[in-house]
Structure 1
Amino acid sequence: MPVSPSLAEDLAAAVADLYEAAEGVLLGKLRAAIAEGIDSPAWVNLKLAALGNMQAAIEEVLAALQVDASGAVHQAVAEAYERGQQAAVAELGALGVGQAAAAAVALPTAPVVDRLAAAVIAETGPVYVRILRTTMDTYRDVIGRASAAPSLGAQTRRQAAQSALDDFADRGVRGFVDSRGRSWELRSYVEMATRSAVGRAAVEAHSDRLGAAGVDLVIVSQAPEECPLCRPWERKILAREGPAGARDVEVEHATEDGETVTVRVAGSLEEARAAGLMHPNCRHNVSAYLPGVSRIPEPQASRGTYEDSQKQRYLERQVRRWKRRQAAAMGMQEAQAARARVQAYQAKIRELTAATGMPRKSHREQLATAR
């Protein structure tokens, strides 16, 4: 069967769920600590005195997260590599005995898995310091706003505290910048880093198995709502290895002994990946191309545009944002207002998917919870 980064995207989502759940736990701890005794005249002094206790509680959550996440990353990469290998074995099952047997030989996975997992763990290492700092800054911000509000006459203490909690629920833990200078929120950053690793593991394993079976060419699929980076490579034949650049190659016919065929190769797989194909959210797949047997598929109409898919992602983020607001609510009125915004954005998603034919991905509208 063909392989794509999406083959392992559920594994990346499971890792990201751990971080989002931890963020939810911290939001709950903030809300509970702030709400406790908020009508007492001594509330500000009590909250300031509890700074050390709050930091200890946050550090306890982060220590558990770090252990769980490191194990989950390694497991996800290992599973992705195994899925990639199995995809190649399934794809080559209809070939000759020699090729199928070669493809079935187990390849060493530990070096690849360890390398990719270590890269993710190193890349996400700074998030723990950032989470601690952001959560403590929010706690201090709530105290500062709530203590100043009565004297300023602008808000009650409870309203000021709710406003600060809402700000945290809206933005979450942010400030993670990738190699291209883009800023990410916590869950998106972790999921992006993990998707990149598990996607690469699946594609590398698939390619390695094809190589073991003597298959040197692959073909790229067409995907719905393709992005500009991937579009140039759709329905193109690529060499698993070798130099970059388009060229004609003379290769042996896949099933006819002694017969050769000319194949137009658009470049190498590594070249295409370096140009953006198989990026973390890519929906394209690659499959074995058998000279003289495989056929390039006819182009298919897309259900929607890339811009439609990005609009859907935006609406999903807004649903999650207002669900966090609902979780941060200190009163029934605030919770009901947030719930109404959730339903409004979900209605927009239904309208978009009905108009374009794109599938609704309800799981991307959910908040992860601690297990």
Structure 2
Amino acid sequence: MIVDQQNPAPYVPAAERYEDAQFRRCGSSGLKLSPISLGLWHNFGDDKPLAVQRGIIRRAFDRGVTHFDLANNYGPPAGSAEENFGRILRRDFSGHRDKMVISSKAGWYMWDGPYGFGGSRKYLMSSLDQSLERLGLDYVDIFYHHRPDPDTPLEESMYALRDIVASGKALYVGISSYGPQLTAEAAEIMAGEGVPLLIHQPSYSLVNRWVEQPDESGSSLLEAAADNGLGVIAFSPLAQGLLTDRYLDGVPEGSRAGSGKMNRDFLSRENLEMVAGLNEIARERGQSLAQMAIAWVLRDQGPETVTSTIIGASSVEQLDTNLDALGNLDFDTDELRRIDEIAHDAGINQWAGATESRTSAE
């Protein structure tokens, strides 16, 4: 565990943090989320100074970010992001818990043996208990099944989510990386149990548009979510850093690719030429490429508009730059046409297999 070597002054949130803040209703629920949420997938494990983590979280809250996204296996090591966030909560946000939306997830590998991954009732409930202990909380606002499990009946996973809400350990529940048909099936089960799914968290970016593509049912994920009253919160809107200006002139030290956290195959000549073309459009819009990529995910798509997108941050400066994307979320027809002519699938969707159909109970 990180040992904090600094003793910063007590945190007092910015009084004006809601003045320019934007919020979007999440699906058909009454919950509203900030259009940009802070994700703790990277940069909040024991490999980063706690003082830096604290500064990022404070700044996010000061700028109107209310949703903080975690999972049981975030780190490194797994679980450390929740532990570190819990420490920051206790020190800086103990009086502000009701002004925050805190989420966690379970589904991917977390511990050894047959009960440390998947979608079984045992795993989901045990994992949430462990997450709450690490966070130092009685409940999370949103608990997700992190990915579909082909070895577990869908009903078992959904009934576990139902009972988690009934227990008071989560206020809402959601799913992540489910395909369109499976999303509709899960939503139907939960609606029948009186605990509607709140939200779906898929990967989505300019170069990873699987959520827009119809499956064999004829529906896209965005359509399935909208039809069933789910909000959508997109992760990896920057395609794990590909949609930034960091790789236009090679692979810098300290970057995700340079530190081994990004598959360097993503940095193919074809992908980098695409990124350069998109960067030119962003420059004409007066935005960085990262800002345009975030804005594009949040653009108005009518009923299928994304509720929020999750960004990471390794510094306060990076956080501020990305939050400034909210200053221009509008795209004209010509911009969208040019983007579509340049952008193509970059092969970065590592979670594609998780969307496949699962077992149903007989």
Q: State the TM bucket, normalised to the shorter chain.
A: under 0.3
Higher Cα radius of gyration: 1
TM-score normalised per structure 2:
0.24
TM-score normalised per structure 1:
0.23
| Structure with higher helix content | 1
Bigger relative CO (Cα 8 Å, ≥ 6 apart): 1
